[in-house]
Every structure is written in C-alpha cells, then in structure tokens.
Structure 1
Amino acid sequence: MSAPGEKVTIARKQKKLTQTELGDNVGTSRDIIGKYERDETKPSIEVAAKIADVLDCSLDYLIKDINPEDELAKKIEQLSPINKEYVMAVIEAFEAKEKLQGKR
C-alpha cells in the first residue's frame, strides 16, 4: 500500500499540478507540500481536507491504507443484479477496445 505522501504525489501528478500550484491552492508553500509528499510531516486535518478537495479525491483515500480495488469491489457488490451486469458489460467493452488497440 502507498503511504499518504506517495498518494498525494500520485494524485497531484494525475491532476498535472506542480508542488507550487498545489501549495498555492491550499494556502501553503511548495516546501511544505514536498514535506507532506515525503511523509516528513503531516498536514492538519483542515489542510488535508483542502488537499483532497484540490486533488479531487477523498480524505479517506489520502490517509487510510485502502486498496482501491477492494473499495471498487465493495461498491459493485452493493449494486442491484441488473446494474452489476451493466458494469460488467462496460468493463468488457473497454477490455475489447484495448485488445483491438494492442494495449493488452
């Protein structure tokens, strides 16, 4: 599992933000964001919530040791049988598309 700082780094890069841009958006400096990403220090709950908001992810994702695949499986399991079938059909369609594109 990823450490909280690594999750911040991954989410920040997915949003194509620099440490400076993330810092500006949450009201702190690039140096502090770097310390969070290296797990040298932990943000306050308020700052962590701002980081999660800017990175468009949940606070739970950033701070808990959650396996995203397990969370997805839980969500799918809670769906009605027909909606589970729809989810599987969409997944199968994407798998077929990637196979055709030579990505699998």
Structure 2
Amino acid sequence: MSQEDLAQFLGTKGSAIGRYERDEMKPSIEVAAKMADYLVGKADIELGPKTLSRILKVSRFSEQDREHVFFVIDAFIANRKIQSITQ
C-alpha cells in the first residue's frame, strides 16, 4: 500500500504518512485508532499475515527502494489488467 493509499484510507495526506514513518510527527488518536483497526483486521481491507509482514518490511526501505518496489507492483497490476481485457 502506498503512502497515498494509506493516507486516503486514514483520511489524511501522504506527506503525513511519511512524517509518521520518519517519527517527525505522531498521528492523532483518531488516525492511530484507524491504523490499529486496519492492522488487526477490523477495517474494510484485510491483509493476511504474510502480506502485512511484507508491506511492513517494504515500509522500512528507503524512499527510492520503496518506489522501485511499487513500480514493479504497478507494472504487474497493469499487465494483469491488459491480460484480463485481451482474454
């Protein structure tokens, strides 16, 4: 999940997510509660433990490395969409 996706889910901005990650800012109680609900599976979007573990590992990468990972994921998603249209 990108910072922008998480921000949209939480009702905040992507730059805020980056500031949370760098420990420059703490989320409000409301935002922290939404994050907690998401992490324990009470949110609309549920991730399995393997997926969540991978996302957390990627979130610790440098911004450049995260962008590379997301580029590959985005390319794969686009490829799957094209395949589903042509089949």
Same structural fold, with TM-score higher than 0.5 when normalized by the shorter chain: no
| Greater RCO (CA < 8 Å, at least 6 residues apart) | 1
**TM score, norm. by length of structure 2:** 0.43
